[in-house]
Structure 1
Amino acid sequence: MPALPNDLRAYHEALATRGLARFGPGPRVHCHMGLVDRLPAPGTPALELRERLRASQEALLAELARAMGRFPDGGDVMDVGSGLGGSALYWAQEHRARVTAMVNVPAHLEQVRRFAHEAGVGDRVQARLASQEELQGRACFDALIAVENACALPRADWLRAARSWLKPGGVLAIADCFWVRPLVVHPSSDAWRTRLGSVRGLLAAAQEAGLELEVHDDVSARAVGFWTLTSELLVHEHMEHAPANARDLRAALNAVRMESQRDHLWLQQGLMDGGLEYALLVLRRER
């Protein structure tokens, strides 16, 4: 697996820092979207919002496991772009998998190992840098799982490598956001946002690489609520640090709205109006 470009590495580092601050102290800290089926009442306390957001992230992983069908319990799994290792720990704890957690940021290696030890699965989770290539061509995994990392690297090369890592009959499971209409992507220097691709493009590259589509679930409607909860939590976080002065408070709330519009509302709107799709994809190596 090739090393991430510097902008993407910096993006993942910042994402992990925010995730740890918001959902820490661990050990299962996730740095991805979640699925929300019911929103809480307005004015829900920050602590409950954080719990609901964590639950939504784990609901996404559970839904991805369901899409994979008979998950390879006790099998060998590569977790691609594992962040702080939250999803790697999920597969190890909930499915007894032996997980190779591919970490994008060198400084996170020791943190993932520490979290795995705290969770009691240090013997089943092995953290490696995503730049290491010693696995190239080895068909040693029952499943490769990429949560919001499928768009980060050149698709054709990455999918060919993914097929070479899978055992015959193994599956590649992807949860990610894709554009349906390219112009819906809000102008930004955000490294993840600028690399969103289409489902059609990824599936064409997957077929060329020798991976056959088994499941394509559009869960966009269930992902919308994640951004509603995140926006509400932003208000709480700004309020916690806002001065008591009413004028300063209004300024803080306006700052929340600006941040929400820049980082959240474009995604929420795109998922609602069909400009973006949050998809669960399961592809199988037949032989």
Structure 2
Amino acid sequence: MNAISALHEPHTAPGEPRLSDVLAYHEALAERGLARYGPGPRVHCHTGLVDGLPLPGLPAPELRKRLKDSQETLLAELARAMGTFPDGGDVMEVGTGLGGGALYWAQEHRAKVTSLLSVPAHVEQVLRYAREAGVEGRIHPRLCSAEDMRGLGCFDAIIAVENACAVPRADWLRGARTWLKPGGLLAIADCFWVRPGSVHPSGDTWRTHLGSVSGFLAAAREAGLELEVHDDVSARAVGFWTLTAELLVHEHMSRATDARGLRAALNAVRMEAKREHLWLQQGLLDGGLEYALLVLRRER
């Protein structure tokens, strides 16, 4: 969603999230991601893919490890879907939080990564993680607008994980096409609604602006991007939220010091699970939501 900072217009249209809302969302997302999946250097702030759930009762450290592994599985599946991912190529990563994705593409695929970030403090943090990982020469985090980008048609791939739903899609996709080299790839991993009623009725920037997969693909065609891969991985995404809900129990129970605190912790778990997880699990299971991997190519 921080793609808004790359294509932000001074007057936000009705129904579109404000830039300030997106910045606040990404600050909170990164803080929560670091607490759950840190320390770095590769910290991810997005959904993962889980194949086979363990028996309940895993300790919190093991849950965190499995969740982080599942996030890396998502990136590996996105790379597989891209097929001809240009090892050593120039990549724009529309960053999710703390640069975990940027480090993944730099370390696993030797890519030179320009990572777009929404939050000013995250630029130095991503640089620090890049130094720790030994890939500081391959990672270029930046806060920028579309006007700041130099050299149209300069990227072999643009990768956006849970960052393409809340933006004005037509504008963003047209911009993505101009940044890609002829034949370059746009790779998306995101949650979309299939039935409008599946969208969560809240003020959360991500949950209320998911958008439809059909609308996104129609806008991509209009922008001159040809769909090559459309993988529905909803069933594999459900397990991530199941494990996260289990981790919630550990997080809240660790703060309980007496019987009263225990009851409060259990109530907090139920409320947060209902707000954050259960609607997603239900939507992904009944087909109201779709977690999709999309790969589109710029026509030559």
- Counterpart CA distance in 2 for 1:131 and 1:194 is 24
Matched, 1:2 2:7: yes
Identity %: 77
- Counterpart CA distance in 1 for 2:89 and 2:227 is 21
Structure 1 residues 85-100: aligned runs within 5 Å: 85-100=99-114
- Counterpart CA distance in 2 for 1:158 and 1:136 is 17
Return the match for 2:162 from 148, 153, 158: 148
- Counterpart CA distance in 2 for 1:262 and 1:179 is 17
Return the match for 1:260 from 264, 273, 277: 273
Return the match for 1:67 from 48, 71, 81: 81
Query: Which sits farther off after the overlay, 56-65 or 183-192?
Result: 183-192
The superposition leaves residues 139-196 of structure 1 with CA deviations (integer Å, 9 ceiling, x where unpaired) of 0000000000011210000000000000001000000000001111121000111111
TM-score of the superposition, structure 1-length normalised? Answer: 0.97
Matched, 1:120 2:125: no
State the SS of the aligned residue for 1:241. coil
* Structure 1 runs (4+) greater than 3 angstroms displaced: none
* Contact 1:150/1:176 (<8 A) preserved: yes
CA positional deviation for 1:24:
1.1
* Contact 2:46/2:96 (<8 A) preserved: no
State the SS of the aligned residue for 2:39. coil
Return the match for 2:231 from 203, 208, 217: 217
> Which residue does 1:249 correspond to in 2?
262
Aligned pair count reads: 286
Structure 1 gaps, min length 5? none
* Contact 1:210/1:285 (<8 A) preserved: yes
CA positional deviation for 1:131:
2.9
State the SS of the aligned residue for 1:22. helix
The superposition leaves residues 29-61 of structure 1 with CA deviations (integer Å, 9 ceiling, x where unpaired) of 000000000111111000000000000000000
* Contact 1:82/1:88 (<8 A) preserved: no
CA positional deviation for 1:130:
4.1
User: Which residue identity is paired with 1:128?
Assistant: R
TM-score of the superposition, structure 2-length normalised? Answer: 0.93
> Which residue does 2:177 correspond to in 1?
163
- Counterpart CA distance in 1 for 2:151 and 2:292 is 28
> Which residue does 2:186 correspond to in 1?
172
Return the match for 1:185 from 181, 193, 199: 199
> Which residue does 1:282 correspond to in 2?
295
Matched, 1:21 2:35: yes
Query: Which sits farther off after the overlay, 216-225 or 121-130?
Result: 121-130
State the SS of the aligned residue for 2:145. coil
> Which residue does 2:11 correspond to in 1?
none
Cα RMSD over matched residues?
A: 1.1
| CA 250–82 in structure 1, closer or farther in 2 if over 3 Å, else same | closer
- Counterpart CA distance in 1 for 2:120 and 2:187 is 24
